[in-house]
Amino acid sequence: MRITIYLNFMINQVLEKSGRATLLLFLFLNCSPCFAQSERIDVGILSGKKITRLLVAPVSDVYSVFAGDSLLTLIKRNDALSLTLMNDSVEVKTIAQTFGTFKRVQIMALSKQASLKIKPADGKTETHLDNDLFINPGKNSLTIINHADLDNYVAGVVEAETGYSAPEEYYKIQAIMCRTFAIESKGKHKADGYDLCDREHCQVFKGRNNRKPEIKLAVAATSGIVLVDSTNKPIFAAYHSNCGGQTDYSENVWKTEKSYLKPVVDTFCISSRNANWQKIISLHDWEKYLVKQNKEYIKPADSLYCFYQPERKSDYNLFGSKISLTQVRKDFKLSSTYFHIEQDADNIIFTGRGLGHGVGLCQQGAIEMARKGYSYKKILGYYYKGVRLVNYSQTRN
Ligand SMILES: [Zn+2]
Ligand SMILES: [Zn+2]
């Protein structure tokens, strides 16, 4: 691999220039793991933010800084690197030296365990990242890419998407869903120069999993495992907070039918935090909304707005007004599409169940199942029908 050549070159250079024996010894002791790279993913960090100057500092181990094929320098703990957007290039500086401006900067870890922190020069929040960092000049901002081991990325996503109070078995479920999503969606942001962004648009990723060692263990215990459908393709592993007692058809939300995303009756989540909600709006606003949706709409005299969903439906269909429930949810910022409507004098009362789109795995239901002792395999099979668990190397992408 290319890094082998660089490593030899770099060691010679360090010997010639500084004779830093300790650093050299460190390189020899630590270089071997970086040759055995596992599956990598490129994640856009602080994506959507305008960042023109970034500070980078290793937390552990040593990093080599490359611009294209040239080694610029080595940085280690307590060193700091400054990267500034200059038109269509990136200027690279340390406190002691300015190296010039470049089209692409790669900050490469010399061991698998290495991590670094980044901070926008005008911001307060630091982001702690594993593995390598690539910096490209974007139009008005630096493009920051974490070139990370898939499992390190998955652990960070599980921490951001799940929090800290779930049982250990549940972290395995979340790890498999996040890994499956990553494999299924790899390259989604090809035009931006990376695979996935770090926002809700793809999966929330706030950096390295630091606070919950159980997450790392769950990711390691399920390493490489993804969910596939009957054609051996990684599934679209949709999940949501709480289904309210029944999950939904994928076509009700995204217009695309998936054999494994069908309604499941779920009694495990109905006592959870997000199981019930209510929202009241004025009758005037509701009628105005219906007219806006359908100009022909005329409400029959003395009729009440009552709409019930003993089972999940796809549309609100009353007095000739047909609107998708997904649209109603979006327009009134409702917690879910699983609601009844009743009228009380001049008010419309939405009484709903669940939180989120309702398709696929219900997180609060799955957490409850895990607490009751169900295995991660059983729980995944409960929410995703007819799927199998395989190593991603056996999948058809
Ligand atoms: Zn995205
Ligand atoms: Zn549920």
Q: Kindly report the pTM of this predicted structure.
A: 0.85
Q: Are 260 and 386 in contact (CB under 8 A)?
A: yes
Q: What is the pLDDT of residue 397?
A: 64
Pick the CATH number of 31-151 from 2.60.40, 2.60.200, 2.20.28, 3.40.50: 2.60.200
* Residue 356 confidence (pLDDT): 96
Distance from residue 293's CA to the centre of ligand 1 (Å): 31
Query: What are the extents of the domains in the chain?
Result: 31-151, 156-239+359-394, 276-353
Tell me how far the alpha carbon of residue 353 lies from the centroid of ligand 2, in angstroms: 10
Measure 269 CA to ligand 2 centroid, in angstroms. 4
Which ligand is the nearest neighbour of the Cα of 312? 2
pLDDT at res. 319: 75
For residue 102, how far is its CA from the centre of ligand 1 (angstroms)? 26
Ligand 2 centre and the CA of 367: distance in Å?
10
pLDDT (tens, 9 = 90+) of the chain, 397 residues, equals 444 444 444 544 443 444 343 344 344 434 433 434 579 999 999 999 999 999 999 998 899 999 988 999 999 998 999 999 998 999 999 999 999 999 999 999 999 899 999 999 988 889 999 999 999 999 899 999 999 999 999 999 999 988 788 999 999 999 999 999 999 999 999 999 999 999 999 999 999 988 889 999 999 999 999 999 999 999 999 999 999 999 999 999 998 999 999 999 999 999 998 899 999 999 999 989 988 888 777 777 777 889 999 999 999 987 777 899 999 999 999 999 999 999 998 999 999 999 999 999 999 999 999 999 999 999 999 999 999 999 988 886 6
Q: How far is ligand 1, taken at its centre, from the CA of residue 195, in Å? A: 8
**Nearest listed ligand to the Cα of residue 192:** 1
Nearest ligand by distance to the CA of 42: 1
Cα gap 163→74, rounded to integer Å: 36
Q: How far is the CA of 333 from the centre of ligand 2 (A)?
A: 20
Decide: 75 and 21 in contact? Cβ < 8 Å: no
CA-closest candidate to residue 149, choices 37, 66, 63: 37
Going from the Cα of 322 to the center of ligand 2, the distance in angstroms, rounded, reads: 27
Structural contact between residues 53 and 143, judged by C-beta atoms closer than 8 angstroms: no
